[in-house]
Amino acid sequence: MRFLIECTHTFFNPAHNTGIQRVVRNIVEHLPEATEEVEFRPVVLKEGELYGVKDLPDVDEEPQYSDVPPWPYRVLERVEQRHAGLSRRYQRINERPSFQRSKNARRALFVVVKALDLGLRALKKGLRTIGDRVEDQRLERLELSENDHLILIDASWNYSQAPQAFEAINASGAKIYGAVHDIIPLTNPEFFHGKLVDDFSKWFEAVAQLAAGYICVSRTTMERTRNKVNALVGSQAGERKVYDYFYSGSDFSRQTQRGSVRPQLMDIFASDEPVYLMVGTIEPRKNHRYVLDAFDQLWQQGVRARLLIIGGQGWKCDDLVDRVLQHQHHGQALVMVNDATDAELNHCYQRANRLILASHDEGFGLPIIESMNNNLPVICSDIDIFREVGGQYCDYFDLSDCGSLAAQVKAQLGDTNEVAALEGWRWDNWREATRRFCDNLVDLARRSEASRG
C-alpha cells in the first residue's frame, strides 16, 4: 500500500504557516521510512495531476527556490480559468442580435478572440516554463494504481481544479480519504468570506461523493464530519465510509530552533507584569473582541496585566485591528504582532503567564498543546473541542459574559502554582503523533477494503 499525503497549498505557499500548514509540515517531516508493505509519500496537485514531492521547503528555506517563486503556479491557474471561459463568452457575444446583423462585427469579434486565444496560450506556455525549471529538483510525476491511497490533509479547497482532479484520481483506481481539520465554514459560514465558504463547500461535497473514508483531527470533528457526510450522501452510503481521528503533536518542528527575536517581543516580558498570550489568525471565530473587552474591564479597574496578540490579519477583522492600534494601551500593555516567526512564538510560549483561547469553535486547538508543552497554563472558552483536548488541565470561561474571563484573570494574578497545575500532563510529540496518524491510515485502508468485500 502506498499512502500519498497531499500538501499542495503548503508546498506552493511556503510563507504560510498557520494551523493547517503547521500540521502538514510536521507530518511530512516525520513520515516513517518505507517498508516492503507500506510507503508514505508527500504529493502535490499540479495542473490536475499528482506529483511526488522530493523536498518540502521549510518557511525559512524558501530562498532555496528563490529562482522560481510560487507566483507562476497561482497565475497559471487563473489564466487557465480565463482561457477555459473564453470560448463560452465568444459564443454568447456572437449570438447577440447586434452581432448577427453585422458580418463585420462578427469578423472583428473573431479576430479579437483569436488573438486573445493565442496570447493566453503563449502566456500559459511561458508560465509553465518558469514553473517547471526546477521540477526535477522538487517534484516528480506519479503513476497511480489501485494500491494508492490519497490523503487530503492540506487546504486543497484553495485549488480550483481539485474536484475534477479527484474524479480522475478516483477513476485510476486510487482511493481518496478526506482529512478534516474542521467543518466550521459549513456550520458557521458567518465567520468567513463568501468565497471561502463556497470553495470549501464545493470541496467537501466533491470529497463526500468520492471518499472511501475520513481521518479527522479530533473525535469531535470526526463525529461532526460523519453527520455532515451522511446528510449529503444519505445514511446508507455514508455508513459504508470508514472514519478515524488522530491528535496533532506537541513539539515545534526543527526550524524553531533557530532565528532571532525582535526587541518588541523581548521588551513585553521585561517587566514584572503578567503577560497573557493569544495565538491565532485574527478573524471573527477566534473572538479577540471578547478578550479585549475583558481586558478593558481589567485595565479600568487598575489591574496591571499585559495582553500579547500574535497572529496574521485574516478576514472581517478591520474594526478589531483598528481598535487595537488606536487603543490607549497599544504598544505597552497591549501588543499585537502579525508576522511572528516560529522561533518568536516559541519564545513567547516559554515566557508568558497564561495562554488565552476564546474561540467560538475549533477543529482541534493546536495552541493548547503547544502551550502546555511549554508548561504554560491555558484559559479557554468552554466548548466541546477544548474540553476534549484540554480536559482537566485547562481553566474554562463562559463565552456569554466577558466578565467570566476577567474574573479568572484577577483570581490567577500572583498564582505561584502554574507549573504544578500541569503535573501529570503528557502529549505525543510530532514523531509519535505522526506514527499514530500513519497507523490509523493503514487501519482505515484495511477497514475500507473489508467493507467493500
> What is the full DSSP assignment across 250-291?
SSPPGGGGS----HHHHHTTSSSS-EEEEES-BSGGG-HHHH
d(CA 369, CA 125) in angstroms, rounded, equals 46
* 257 pLDDT higher than 60: no
With contact defined as beta carbons under 8 Å apart, do 376 and 355 qualify? yes
pLDDT tens-digit series, residues 370-396: 899 888 999 999 999 999 999 999 999
Q: How far apart (Å, rounded) are the C-alpha atoms in residues 222 and 243?
A: 7
CATH number, span 2-67+137-249+433-451: 3.40.50.2000
- Is the confidence at residue 144, as pLDDT, over 70? yes
pLDDT digits (tens, 9 = 90+) for 26-57: 999 999 998 889 999 999 998 788 999 887 76
Fold of the CATH domain 254-426: Rossmann fold (3.40.50)
Query: How far apart are alpha carbons 75 and 91 in whole angstroms?
Result: 25
Mean pLDDT of the chain: 86
The span from the CA of 306 to the CA of 333, in Å, is 4
In sequence order, what are the residues at sequence separation of 6 or more whose Cβ sits closer than 8 angstroms to the Cβ of residue 260?
A: 343
- Residue 354 contacts residue 412 (beta carbons within 8 Å): yes
Q: Determine the Cα–Cα distance for residues 404 and 390; give it in Å rounded to an integer.
A: 18
What is the Cα–Cα distance from 299 to 22, expressed in whole angstroms? 34
Residues in CB range of 91: below 8 A, 6 or more apart: none
Q: How far is 328 from 365, CA to CA, in rounded Å?
A: 31
Domain boundaries, the chain: 2-67+137-249+433-451, 71-133, 254-426
Q: Give me the mean pLDDT over the 170-195 stretch.
A: 93
The model's pTM: 0.77
What is the pLDDT at residue 252?
59
Q: What is the pLDDT of residue 69?
A: 44
pLDDT recorded at residue 72? 65
Q: What number of CA atoms fall less than 13 Å from residue 332's CA on the CB side?
A: 6
3-state SS assignment for residue 379 = strand
Q: What percent of the chain has pLDDT above 90?
A: 53
Summarised one tens digit per residue, pLDDT across range 301-356 is 999 999 999 998 888 999 999 999 999 999 999 999 998 888 899 899 999 999 99
In CATH terms, are 2-67+137-249+433-451 and 254-426 the same topology? yes
Three-class SS string for 92-109? HHHCCHHHHCCHHHHHHH
> Is residue 98 predicted with pLDDT exceeding 90?
no
Residue partners of 248: CB distance under 8 A and separation at least 6: 23, 26, 217, 364, 366, 369, 430, 433
For the cut 90, the answer to whether the pLDDT of residue 68 exceeds it is no
**What band does 244 get if pLDDT is binned at 50, 70 and 90?**
very high
CA 285/CA 24 separation, integer angstroms: 22
pLDDT value at residue 256: 52
Among 22, 7, 1, residue whose Cα is nearest residue 52: 7
14-27 pLDDT per residue, tens: 767 677 888 999 99
Read off the pLDDT of residues 197-226 as tens digits, 9 standing for 90 and up.
999 999 999 999 999 999 999 999 999 999
Q: Which residues pair with 43 in a beta bridge?
A: 6, 52
